[in-house]
Structure 1
């Protein structure tokens, strides 16, 4: 691999941007293709499909055999609320391949003892979220039941096109939340993206069961709809 190609791939990886590497198996020539460049590429159709699925693949174009290597950011799950649901959700999500970050300024809840081996930020979301740079490969879950913590984070998650945005609370609670966010200028179309009540409807009762329902809904959005990859393309 030429140094220029490696540097380009590393730069895109560091910026958490999806990228494809096209390798001509006969000649060994390689080129980097970014999502914005796919439409004008002679391999537009297979490149689009590879990016949508996140799977590298072998393709043929004329007499040429090429390998498409897909480089997509690892999925993240950002949670506001160091609560009982988060205690069950964080290790499950980490086991499923998500990088998990929990934000909660309430230091009585946000303790390493309650969340071992988890990236825990005992700060306000408006301090933490800008440095995290939420993106289309990030899922966000608001679990505190405290509007001072959850609302600013929901605004940021919607603005950054997180592939999943969910919020804990009853339909009545969510209706009041929508009114607050609409009063801040958020469009109804954006607010409609919030999954609330959060999680799949599996009749969950305990914190652990609710965590299962949330993770299932997150994975469904990531794998079935692949919204992050489609928006990135």
Structure 2
């Protein structure tokens, strides 16, 4: 039976099952070849009762992994499993051809210490980027951040690209906080932008204190914060996995949000408005005490220059620029 837990909460599910006395194992895709159904770093939690949460193959080999995981729970040892995904199985999960995957299975409380898993879960809850580092020669495990001195630029690059994988015999499972976006201004561009943000994997919220703009009828199903932008951003919280986009080009609304964003470590801040509008914005921010380097963080006019005209095209240009910034594309 599949757990109703959120698909991304796999370490949390494994820890909960273990603490409830149901035993648990954590299976992680560590290598892929060809058209593997799930990327490296994908995880599956298995309880001692055969319950599962998550996926390592999109359905192709989960049954076999469960059987092996139940045996690992008895032995307490880490298993390295390798599976071939046939052309027929690959086609069933939407791929053109087959491939192979390598899966690491770790029994919680034995091979994978409960304390390490608890620290991982705590880091994820605090939105702190962390990697689970597994030495597959000595089977030693620890948590590391992007400044880890032993792994250097290799681990920093993996955090930037959200890419788990091997560095020689050491496997790095990257756990970045979910991406977030705050859109200030419930204007026409925000309508396609909110949809595109969610499709790209962002937890997006819309901020606008004007009831006529931020109405549910205009943005059905979206999270709308009807507070003033500075208060809303402070309450929501900003970090290095958050993008902020201001769309009103009204200083009364945009400027408070921009000031809060510039005082944070958001990875992207984009502001709608012409070159002339931005020049006035720069003058106001300079007068308010912001430095030239701080102001230079603003992407304005917002979005890549792709000749966009319609609201949807402008939203595409904004998402493209955010993606380029996230992935450190020059």
TM-score, with normalisation over the residues of structure 2? 0.64
> 2:233, 2:195 → 1: CA distance?
21
> 1:213, 1:30 → 2: CA distance?
42
Q: Write out aligned runs for 1:176-195 (5 A).
A: 176-195=280-299
Residue by residue over 1:114-165, the C-alpha shift from the partner in whole angstroms, topping out at 9 and shown as x without a partner, is 1122111111112211122111111111101211111011111111121111
Say which structure is richer in helix: 1
Where does residue 128 of structure 2 map in the other structure?
A: 17
Where does residue 87 of structure 2 map in the other structure?
A: none
Moved over 6 A (4+): none
TM-score, with normalisation over the residues of structure 1? 0.89
Identify the match of residue 157 of structure 1 among 235, 251, 261. Answer: 261
Greater relative contact order (Cα 8 A, min sep 6): structure 1 or 2?
1
Q: CA deviation at 1:45?
A: 4.1
> 1:35, 1:48 → 2: CA distance?
5
Decide which moves more: 43-52 or 188-197: 43-52
The count of corresponding residues between Structure 1 and Structure 2 is 219
The alignment status of 1:30 with 2:141, answered yes or no, reads yes
**Conservation of the 8 A alpha-carbon contact between 2:160 and 2:326:** no
Structure 1 gaps of 5+ residues are 227-233
The alignment status of 1:50 with 2:158, answered yes or no, reads yes
Q: Write out aligned runs for 1:80-229 (5 A).
A: 80-225=184-329
> 2:257, 2:277 → 1: CA distance?
17
> 2:267, 2:117 → 1: CA distance?
28
| Larger Rg computed on CA atoms | 2
Where does residue 3 of structure 1 map in the other structure?
A: 114
CA RMSD of aligned residues (A): 1.5
Residue by residue over 1:20-77, the C-alpha shift from the partner in whole angstroms, topping out at 9 and shown as x without a partner, is 11112244331111234x12x2x334323322322111122xxxx2211111112111
The alignment status of 1:78 with 2:189, answered yes or no, reads no
Structure 2 gaps of 5+ residues are 1-111
> 2:231, 2:237 → 1: CA distance?
12
